[in-house]
Amino acid sequence: MRYLPLNDTDRQDMLARVGVDHIDDLFADIPEKARLKDLLDLPRRASEMQVERQLSAMAAKNTPAGSVPFFVGAGAYKHHVPATVDHLIQRSEFLTSYTPYQPEITQGTLQYLFEFQTQVARLTAMDVANASMYDGSTGTGEAVLMAHRITKRNKAVLSGGLHPQYREVVEGLSAMAGDKVVSLPADPSGTEDILSQIDDETSCVVVQCPSFYGQLIDLKPIAEKAHQHKALLIAVFTEVVSLGLIEPPGTQGADIVVGEGQSIGNGLNFGGPYVGLFATRQKYVRQMPGRLCGETVDAEGKRGFVLTLSTREQHIRRDKATSNICTNSGLCCLAFTVHMSLLGEKGLTKLARINHGNAVKLKRALAGVPGVEVLNTAYFNEFTVKLPKPAAAVVEALAAQNILAGVPVSRLEPGKPELKNLLVVASTEVNTDEDRAALADGLKAVLT
Amino acid sequence: MSMNTQGRPTSAGDTGESFRPKTFTGNRALDMEEPLIFEFGRLDNMGVDLDEPDTFESELGGHERTAEIGLPGLAEPEAMRHFVRLSRNNYAIDSGLYPLGSCTMKHNPRLNEKMARLPGFGDIHPLQPVSTVPGALELIDELAHWLMVTTGTSAVAMSPKAGAHGELCGMMAIKAAHTAAGRSPEIVLVPESAHGTNPATAALLGYKVVAIDAKDDGTVDLAALTATIAQHEGNIAGIMLTNPNTCGLFERDIMEIADLIHAAGGFFYCDGANFNAIVGKARPGDLGVDAMHINLHKTFSTPHGGGGPGSGPVVLSDRLAPFAPLPFIRKTEDGLELVETDAATKDGEQPFGRMTAFHGQMGMYVRALAYMQSHGSDGLRQASEDAVLNANYVRVGLQDLMTLPFGENPCMHEVLFDDSFLKDTGVTTLDFAKAMIDEGYHPMTMYFPLVVHGAMLIEPTESESRASLDLFIATMRDLVMSATRGETQRFSGAPYLAPRRRLDETTAARKPVLKWSEPEPAEVTPQVAAE
């Protein structure tokens, strides 16, 4: 087997050295009746070429985003990732290293985590960011638990503009932990009255901007009302590129900011691995979940970095930990940091302008299709349209013509007649004028 | 004929062997100091060519950002050099033996990376029409099949994003099963030797954690377990047990433990962190396990990536299968169906909720399946056997000099030493580990499990050759003898030769600096020293 350096001679010699006759003597503690006598009922070993053949055949059955006019967003976005990013994250020293528990020989990982934390804190305009969460949705769940620890209350109010699957993650976790959740009805155009839901029992309000439906939301009045009741505002975003153009949640009064960072540096990957961004105020840092990297000096006074504040974490605190999380999304952070370093302030701003510009063009193209109504007044690179027919069928019809039109809301929110005709469409820098024309024409054809 | 026609000296020469110049840059040849991007990048620099949009009309509705963000940019060659230099300060499995017990640092085949980057896997969106991703469902279903066959179970929740997330998923399924049966037991049993994630997970779900004792041989004390269960009769939700356990030992009484827990109305959660020791040798389902997460990044070699991303699918027994979270794939006569919402469930499917948006760590699924297919049934068994053989080879190579807390018995895939052999040497477990760094090794896991004083947990994995193990054993023996001889300097200040000496973690935690800030302008008035 090509991955195993021992050969049979080695094995015989080593067994003799260990003092047993047969390898099974080393497995003698396994109860006799549970010991496998035969090989597992699976195929035998396969060469590199065979595996490549088998998996390529599966991959070939899928339609890659890059091969068609592509407008699917709703929490994950198709962006162009520079070739440098993928090269760097495949460096052996990054790819095959472990959690930097031995800082003297993992300064590479630690320094990029420190750079990542600084980038995220600046993007969100918050005091501190951690070294990432699994993704935006699990980060949102953790943010709600954190708010409960800080406020010593247990009721979360979720905006109807929150990604439905993020909402389900929070609801599931809360139900299991015995906490309360008030989820507002779907809010495609950003007109819900969330302020009246905030009271003295509220621990936190969770608001997504741009919302799941693409609407930009003014967070300031929500933060103000929350703070009047000593509750926290958790601001969520799924499209980090938006922060290149819109006011960051930190300056609008958010107490915890959670976002999905996939758009920068990371591919679509059918939903994972992604990278959750998580930032908060300095005063709450010791209630934060996840890993933190901090600056220090070594015995010779040279600057270095270490994992820090680990007394919050499970390996020290066990059942008193702030979270059960034991890992972050290291390599995805690296991809984020490399891509963000290549963009810088100027590049991110430009990228955001291109995205918004493309969305504006798409909106105009779609608004020209008879029967199509755009529901959003202010948006970044994504918005929701109301079709004269159920959106799911329209999306299927367009997919048959190799146009991937967007996400029918009914896929995530089934059984709600008022949402049945809604379609969430996104346009990033990858879309061309031809792509937009193909979608508008296709839509016209399907709707008439 | 010599090519050296210009009189260039070709011998090493007498350079004064103990002289180490203090360099202007602080660099030491290939060992380079590298500033933070915030210290040399510029706000108007960039390494990506983007055109201004031909027209730009804002429909942001007054939500425009007005302040600067403060993100420096780098041109492509600057970025390349920055991150390549950083990478060189990292130890990695590709560069050396990485014997971190419980973490399973084995070889990461590059075929797996290549497969995960096929556009048909890497460039598909989680919410594009299901009709355009049949191969993705097929891949997930195929990996699920391999995991179920390997573990002897009939269901698997694929979506958890890491081991601890898998634990949470498994325990949520257990809680859901109790609730569905109209029960609400409050106690989860966890041995002291468990990973910290186990009690943290149980506590997160509101369970009370009760410790169970170990015997002198490092395995669960059946008599004590029986007594603890009796003491909390009717109130036991389950047990969380790692097997092979964190002492590197197989729990010999595991089937009795499972029977006891089941008889008490509880479920058996197995922490699968060490499953790599027994793949192809025994199946957790046959041992009475109800739920077990599989760290794809350990057992099936998806890269650790400096601390993630991981992936932690959870295999489930028949009794827990109905409660598996959304999303899942249903096999029908017409093919595979993706079930993403409660509305799409059928009788007998009672998902407890959702662990994460989308479908889990697809990129890791592809890598794990490539690894499993490459090994096949024969290779997977061989890998476990080699891992266990390598650990025992290290054990017998060191047991006369280092101390085994539970006697000179065979171990599984990792061998646990305690620090009694360092008694009276003035060298601590930490010092010893740091001296390994100077020898070019990543230290083993230290001070874990907590049940052993000054624990050193060594897991060589199946990826090491015999020659590699021989050199490791010889090095460790040299270090032990050096410590015994009283050569404390080699240890107390170690590492001496790494990119950094020991780092001050106390100050880092006391006054946390968690991001870069512009340096304060120089003080005008002289400062009085604080101490």
What amino acid is encoded at B313 in this protein?
P
- Per-residue pLDDT, A323: 76
* Residue at B70 is within a domain: no
Q: Quick one: B110 exposed, middle or buried, by C-beta within 10 A (0-12, 13-18, 19+)?
A: middle
Question: What is the reported pLDDT for A168?
Answer: 98
DSSP A430: T
Q: Which portions of chain A are predicted below pLDDT 70?
A: none
| Range list of H helices, B289-403 | 362-398
Q: How many angstroms away from the CA of A170 is the closest CA of chain B?
A: 9
Does B358 contact A118 at a Cβ distance shorter than 8 Å? no
B293 touches chain A (CB under 8 A): no
Task: State which residue of chain B sits closest to A37, comparing Cα positions.
Answer: B281
Separation of CA A243 from chain center: 15
Specify the CATH number for the domain of residue B407. 3.90.1150.10
Residue B482, domain member (yes or no): yes
Q: Is residue B5 part of a domain?
A: no
C-beta separation of A161 from A192 below 8 A:
yes
Per-residue pLDDT of chain B (531 residues; tens, 9 = 90+): 455 677 777 777 665 667 888 999 999 999 999 999 999 999 999 999 998 777 778 999 999 999 999 999 999 999 999 999 999 999 999 999 999 999 999 999 999 999 999 999 999 999 999 999 999 999 999 999 999 999 999 999 999 999 999 999 999 999 999 999 999 999 999 988 888 889 999 999 999 999 998 888 889 999 999 999 999 999 999 999 999 999 999 999 999 999 999 999 999 999 999 999 999 999 999 999 999 999 999 999 999 999 999 999 999 999 999 999 999 999 999 999 999 999 999 999 999 999 999 999 999 999 999 999 999 999 999 999 999 999 999 999 999 999 999 999 999 999 999 999 999 999 999 999 999 999 999 999 999 988 899 999 999 999 999 999 999 999 999 999 999 999 999 999 999 999 999 999 999 999 999 999 988 876 655 555 444
Cβ within 8 Å, pair B82-A272: no
CB–CB contact B308 A331 (8 Å): yes
The predicted model scores a pTM of 0.96
Report the gap between the CA of A146 and the closest CA in chain B (Å).
Answer: 12
8 Å CB contact of A93 and B87: yes
Does residue B17 lie within any of the structural domains? Answer: no
Rounded to the nearest angstrom, the gap between the alpha carbon of residue A91 and the centroid of all alpha carbons in its chain is 23
CB under 8 Å to A5, separation ≥6 — which residues? B463, B464, B465, B466, B468
Closest CA to A163 of A114, A110, A207: A207
pLDDT in tens, B202-219: 999 999 999 998 888 889
B265 and B177 in contact (C-beta within 8 Å)?
no
Question: Which of A146, A324, A363, A402 is the best mutation test for B, with the most CBs of B within 10 A?
Answer: A324
- B409 shares a domain with B277: no
Write out the two tokens for A346.
């100027």
- Domain segments of chain A as ranges: 65-80+344-447, 83-338
Name which of A1, A48, A314 is nearest B197 (Cβ-Cβ).
A314
Average pLDDT, chain A: 96
Contact state of A108 with B129 under an 8 Å Cβ cutoff: no
Q: d(Cα A329, Cα A133) in Å, to the nearest integer?
A: 6
Residues with Cβ within 8 Å of A83's Cβ and at least 6 positions away in sequence, in order, are: none
Which two structure tokens, joined as six digits, stand for A203?
């621990």
Task: Residue window 279-318, chain A: list those with CB within 8 Å of chain B.
Answer: 285, 291-300, 302, 304-306, 308-311, 313-318
B residues 151-210 lying closer than 8 A (beta carbon) to A: 161-165, 167-168, 172, 175-176, 195-197, 199-206, 209
Cα angle A423, A425, A428 (rounded to 5 degrees) comes to 175
Q: Where would I find the beta strands (DSSP E) of B411-477?
A: 415-417, 445-446, 456-458
Same domain, B185 and B324: yes
Which chain B residue lies closest to A121 (C-alpha atoms)? B515
**Residues forming a β-bridge with A277:** A259
| Domain identity same for B424 and B498 | yes
Report how far residue B184's alpha carbon sits from residue A299's, in angstroms, rounded to the nearest whole number.
53
Query: Are the C-beta atoms of A233 and A207 separated by less than 8 Å?
Result: yes
Pick the CATH number of A65-80+344-447 from 3.40.50.12780, 3.40.140.10, 3.90.1150.10, 3.40.50.300: 3.90.1150.10
pLDDT of residue B114: 98
Phi, psi of A386 (to 5 degrees): -105, 125
Name chain A contacts of B111, Cβ cutoff 8 Å: 48, 51-52
Instruction: Give residues with Cβ within 8 angstroms of B221, minimum separation 6.
Output: B212, B213, B214, B215
Of B110, B108, B94, nearest in space to B303 by CA: B108
Instruction: Check CB contact under 8 Å for B357 and A40.
Output: no
Residue B203 and residue B192: Cα distance in Å, rounded? 15
Same domain, B361 and B393: no
Shared domain check, B394 and B442: yes
Cα-flanking dihedrals φ and ψ of residue A358, to 5°? Answer: -65, -35
Give a yes or no: residue B58 inside a domain.
no
Round to whole Å and give the CA distance between B514 and A308.
9
Residue B86 lies in a domain: no
Test A4 with B382 for CB contact under 8 angstroms.
Answer: yes
Chain A segment 34-63 residues within 8 A of B by beta carbon are: 34-36, 39-46, 48, 50-52, 54-63
- Identify all chain B residues contacting A412, using CB atoms and an 8 Å cutoff: 127, 340-341
Picking from A94, A96, A120, the residue whose alpha carbon sits closest to that of residue A107 is: A94
Give CA angle at B24 (B22, B29), nearest 5°.
Answer: 70
How far from chain centre, in Å, is Cα B409?
A: 27
CATH number of the structural domain spanning residue B295: 3.40.640.10
**B10, B4 Cβ separation under 8 angstroms:** yes
**In angstroms, what separates the C-alpha of B266 from chain A's closest C-alpha?**
17
Put simply, the answer to whether A40 touches B499 (Cβ < 8 Å) is: no
Give SS3 for A306: strand
Helices A8-18 & B362-398, crossing angle to 10 degrees?
Answer: 50
Cα–Cα distance measured from residue B423 to residue B446, given in angstroms and rounded to the nearest whole number: 16
Residue at which a domain ends, from B339, B371, B403: B371
In this structure, are B359 and B419 located in the same domain?
A: no
Given its phi and psi angles, is residue A441 left (phi above 0), alpha (psi -120 to 50 degrees) or beta?
Answer: alpha
A61 burial level (CB within 10 Å; 0-12, 13-18, 19+): middle
Is there a domain that residue B196 lies in?
yes
Same domain, B305 and B412: no
**Cβ contact, residue pair A319, B203, below 8 Å:** yes
Same domain, residue pair B474 and B357:
no
Number of domains in chain B: 2
Name the residue among A46, A319, A356 with its Cβ closest to that of B376.
Answer: A46
Final residue of a structural domain among B330, B350, B371: B371
Q: Are residues B327 and B424 in the same domain?
A: no
pLDDT at residue A437 in the model: 97
Q: Does B505 touch chain A (CB under 8 A)?
A: yes
Q: Are residues B386 and B456 in the same domain?
A: yes
> If residue A50 lies in a helix (H) or strand (E), which one and from where to where?
helix A48-59
Residue B225 Cα, gap to closest chain A Cα (Å): 19
Of B324, B339, B371, the residue that ends a domain is B371
The label of the residue with tokens 């000296």 reads: B9
CA nearest to B433, candidates B449, B417, B411, B450: B417
Do B206 and B355 share a domain, yes or no? yes
Cα A226-A228-A231 angle, rounded to 5 deg: 40
* B164: its two tokens: 């601890």
| Structural domain span for residue B139 | 113-371
In terms of Cα–Cα distance, which of A263, A290, A109, A337 is closest to B161?
A: A290
Q: Does A158 touch chain B (CB under 8 A)?
A: no
CA distance B337 to B332: 7
Please name the helix (run of DSSP H) or strand (run of DSSP E) that holds residue B187, with its range, or none: strand B187-191
Residue A301: exposure state from Cβ atoms within 10 A (0-12, 13-18, ≥19)? exposed
- Are residues B338 and B407 located together in one domain of the fold? no
Q: How near does any CA of chain A get to the CA of B525, in Å?
A: 24
Domain-embedded: residue B120: yes
The reported pLDDT for the residue numbered A300 is 95
Which amino acid is present at A280? T
Indicate the length of chain A as a whole number: 448
- A4/B contact by beta carbon, under 8 A: yes
- Count of helices and strands (H, E) across chain A: 13, 13
Instruction: Round to whole Å and give the CA distance between B165 and A141.
Output: 12
Residue A344 near chain B (CB below 8 Å): yes
Contact A377/B at CB under 8 A: yes
A304 in helix, strand or coil? strand
The domain A83-338 is classified under which CATH number: 3.40.640.10, 3.40.50.300, 1.20.1250.20, 3.40.50.1700? 3.40.640.10
pLDDT (0 to 100) of residue B132 = 98
Percentage of chain A exceeding pLDDT 90: 95
Would strands B291-293 and B314-316 be described as parallel, antiparallel, or unpaired?
Answer: antiparallel
In the 3-class helix/strand/coil scheme, how is B192-253 assigned residue by residue?
CCCCCHHHHHHHHCCCEEEEECECCCCCECHHHHHHHHHHCCCCEEEEEEECCCCCCCCCCC
- Give the residue carrying structure tokens 């060469």: A47
Q: Which of B278, B183, B293, B299 is nearest to B240 (CA)?
A: B293
Contact assessment for residue A172 and residue A183, using Cβ atoms and an 8 Å cutoff? no
